[in-house]
Homo-oligomer: A and B are copies of this chain.
Amino acid sequence: MLEAFGQEAVCQAMLEFEGALAQAQAAEGIIPAKAAEEICRLCHVESFDVAAVVAASGRAGSLAMPLVKQLTERVAQRDPEAARYVHWGSTSQDVVDTAMVLATRRALVLIDRDLDALVDHLFALYARHGQAPVLARTLMQPAQIVSLGFKLAAWTAPLVRARTRIQVAAQAALQLQLGGAVGTLAAMGDRGAAVVARVADELDLRVPQAAWHAQRDEWLTLGTQVGVLCGSLGKVARDLSLMAQGEIGELSEPSGGGRGGSSAMPHKRNPVSSMIALAAAERVPHRVAALLGAMTQEHERGLGNWQAELAEWAGLFISTHGALKALAEASRELEVDEGRMRINIERLRGLVCAEALSMRLALTLGKAKAHHCVEAWSQAVVREQRHLRDVAADALRADPALAPLLGPPELEALFDADAAARPAVSAAQRQMEALQAARAASVTKHARDSDQHAPQ
């Protein structure tokens, strides 16, 4: 991903644009065919001094001018006549925006693949451990019993949807930028539209409704969707890191191979993938904010805001993809300790079944009174370090009014972890099946398009 937005790759994409532009203009009779040929021949980054282009870009304001200058010089060495037609009628933003579109298309292929892999791994974990009872936790307190599959479904669904949303957004955003000085292609006379069509065709990009030099909404919509994806990845990492705490130990990231050892504490197994994803989720919202803030562009091309947008864009993708790759890696060999999940449930002495008990009693006692009973018993559980089942059994036995409400076997059943997890198991199954179906549909449809734009 670092390569997708690397200077080399962006310069190469810029040269692809320049080559395609020259060809299209030759085909439309705007520039001589021979000039286009000469220009295209030189549009390969290998023969460019990328470092010099980058160094000059500081003063020039973007990569475009120094690159075009180098290209013109190179063409001039072979054919001074042809050199006149380099970058003809175009503007810096045309070439830079289009290069960013091409780089982004490659980046999206990587995101799509790793998102697919991560979802695959989550489905595999679901298949293996989906039924296992585990604590649900709300406000960072143990709440009730669910299944691990229920948690996996809550992780998976936003990722499956993100994939679709990003594909939709990309369809609108991956379009050619070509408007010339102020967006009208005035220098190309009445052949502007035809040139746009040809260049878009050559680069396999959508023909835009108009130059989008300062209409950034479609581009930004793609950016915000990548941001939403990163938020969903952060949620996975947050849960994973919490469940991997030494005192909880329900999940652990795979170790070995240079991952996550501690230089000072030899026994620690640091959740390095979660760390990477959490760092990304911490940073990416600010990338999105910067992009949105940069939308207030002045007139036909902004001063500073377009440049800020450019600079923030790559970071958004690199961070998000870093999070994605880290979690795809962690989830492939994630260790699930079903035993610890049951121990953690047991250690709460039945308190997580208090709602079930309360609801059951409420059927007869009414909600308020039932709540009140169970609250008192729960305090006894904490005070006397006993199991709620036992406290409740004693209380029921002791009170002739309550005793008939709930027999011992029914009471016992209320505290069975597998039984308690059943509603979660069903809910997860419904959602995972729906996701699987949506996925099947979307994946098929998308496969063709994305493959051809994979980075080499």
Interchain CB contact under 8 A, A270 and B220:
no
A234–B298 alpha-carbon span in the complex (Å): 10
Interchain CB contact under 8 A, A210 and B430:
yes
| Cross-chain contact of A224 among B61, B185, B288, B354 (Cβ < 8 A) | B288
Residues of B within 8 A of A356 (CB): 186-187
A121 contacts B by Cβ under 8 Å: no
A204–B52 alpha-carbon span in the complex (Å): 37
Contact (A141, B270) CB under 8 Å given A157-B210, A263-B87: yes
Stretch at the interface among A7-15, A101-109, A122-130, A239-247: A239-247
* Chain A interface residue count, Cβ-Cβ cutoff 8 angstroms: 164
A33 contacts B by Cβ under 8 Å: no
A181–B136 alpha-carbon span in the complex (Å): 9
Contact (A286, B290) CB under 8 Å given A427-B183, A431-B209: yes
A100 contacts B by Cβ under 8 Å: no
Contact with B along A361-381 (1 / 0, CB 8 A): 010001111010011001001
| Cross-chain contact of A141 among B235, B269, B427 (Cβ < 8 A) | B269
Interchain CB contact under 8 A, B298 and A144:
no
Contact (A246, B348) CB under 8 Å given A267-B354, A292-B284, A305-B282: yes
A225 contacts B by Cβ under 8 Å: yes
A41 contacts B by Cβ under 8 Å: no
A455 contacts B by Cβ under 8 Å: no
A271 contacts B by Cβ under 8 Å: yes
A232 contacts B by Cβ under 8 Å: yes
Contact (A265, B354) CB under 8 Å given A165-B221, A181-B138, A423-B192: yes
* A window 231-279: CB within 8 A of B: 231-232, 234-235, 237-239, 241-242, 244-248, 257-272, 274-279
Contact (A182, B146) CB under 8 Å given A242-B299, A247-B247, A312-B283: yes
Residues of B within 8 A of A280 (CB): 308
Residues of B within 8 A of A91 (CB): 138, 262-264
Residues of B within 8 A of A210 (CB): 153-154, 157, 427, 430-431
Residues of B within 8 A of A375 (CB): 266-267
Interchain CB contact under 8 A, B295 and A140:
no
A81 contacts B by Cβ under 8 Å: yes
Contact with B along A108-151 (1 / 0, CB 8 A): 00000000000000000000000000011111111110100011
| Cross-chain contact of A277 among B138, B213, B278, B304 (Cβ < 8 A) | B304
A344 contacts B by Cβ under 8 Å: yes
Contact (A217, B158) CB under 8 Å given A258-B56, A299-B140: yes
Contact with B along A193-217 (1 / 0, CB 8 A): 0000000000000000111011111
A230–B263 alpha-carbon span in the complex (Å): 32
A265–B72 alpha-carbon span in the complex (Å): 17
Contact (A237, B304) CB under 8 Å given A181-B138, A281-B296: yes
Contact (A296, B238) CB under 8 Å given A288-B224, A423-B184: yes
A388–B265 alpha-carbon span in the complex (Å): 14
14 A-B interface contacts by CB (under 8 A): A59-B257, A92-B262, A138-B265, A140-B241, A140-B244, A141-B270, A210-B427, A214-B235, A227-B292, A228-B295, A241-B303, A242-B299, A266-B374, A285-B289
